[in-house]
Amino acid sequence: MMAFIEKGGSDFQPDTKSEYSNSNYVLLTYILEKTYKTPYATLLKKCITDPFSLKNTYFGGSINTSNNEAKSYTFEDNWIAAKETDTSIPLGAGGIVSNPLDLIKFSDALFSGKILKAESLALMENIQDGHGLGLFKQPFYDRQGFGHRGGIDKFTAVFSYFPSDHISFALTSNGSNYNNNEVAVTVLNAIFGKPFEIPEFTTYQINAEELAKYNGVYASAQIPIKITITNDGKNLTAQADGQASMQLECTAENIFKFDKAGIVLEFKPAENVMILKQGGGQYIFNKEK
């Protein structure tokens, strides 16, 4: 692994810029093990999980579903188990198993000064180029949070701490056919008294003949991409130039969505128009003839 990392070289000189690097977290794992002459899993248990009663947090291994552990999944018409990464590869960059309750406990302990001295925590919160020492800024409206997010295979996790309110938030997932960021935003809106909507997961039955009327290549004067719409007789698929295809879900007449990216497509077949809605923006596409 060291040889593999070394072969990749350095992107910049120390203290000149910041970027996230999984390889650096692997190197930190090795440094810990060499310094303390102790396996990383043991250090994690001795220094973090045991002192703060994190009973569902540990260094992982092969997933054992009979031990109440979950595989991760991708959705392609049905849920399919994702390939499993051996945790000897990511080590401290993604080999830790946990759940939201333990992440909240960890967050509370970290930001209350129970794990690190105040000056060490201040170094973690010193953000440069969007990155701190193990933390990221996670703003929410007028509030400033600190936390971390990441994923491996089809597992995802995020935790945030908002100092002004002393509130910690955590979300984990072992597979999603929905945009998890929308889940987080909705929960935080509820916590901080902002307006929020609970999504409705409705479906609309549509036949092959109806699907055909949406087929075509659509272009917009607002953004420089073209989107090709096709169907396989059962489902509609959208593919933007240079991007992966997206299988769309019909939720109402002429309305389709792709929840993973928070995309809604509204078609107006009589006008040869498609409206793309994402992130609060609306973009008009016209079908090319």
DSSP H or E segment with residue 78 = strand 78-81
Query: Residue 52 to residues 80, 105, 107, 108: CA-CA distances in angstroms?
Result: 35, 8, 11, 10
pLDDT < 70: residue spans in the chain: 289
| Separation CA 115–CA 270 (nearest Å) | 63
Query: Residue 164 to residues 123, 131, 185: CA-CA distances in angstroms?
Result: 19, 20, 18
The pLDDT score that the predictor gives to residue 89 is 93
Return the CA Rg of the chain. 23
Q: Which two tokens stand for residue 24?
A: 């650096």
| Separation CA 241–CA 44 (nearest Å) | 45
| Separation CA 259–CA 183 (nearest Å) | 11
The pLDDT score that the predictor gives to residue 265 is 95
Query: Residue 134 to residues 34, 110, 120, 163, 258: CA-CA distances in angstroms?
Result: 20, 12, 11, 17, 32
Q: Which two tokens stand for residue 207?
A: 């036949």
The pLDDT score that the predictor gives to residue 177 is 82
Residues 6+ away with beta carbon under 8 Å from 194: 141, 188
The pLDDT score that the predictor gives to residue 31 is 97
Q: Could you report the per-residue pLDDT of 93-145, keeping only the tens digit for each?
A: 999 999 999 999 999 999 999 999 999 999 999 988 888 899 999 889 999 99
DSSP 204-246: ----HHHHHTT-EEEE-SSSS-EEEEEE-SS-EEEEETTS--E
Domains observed in the chain: 2-191 (3.40.710.10), 208-287 (2.40.128.50)
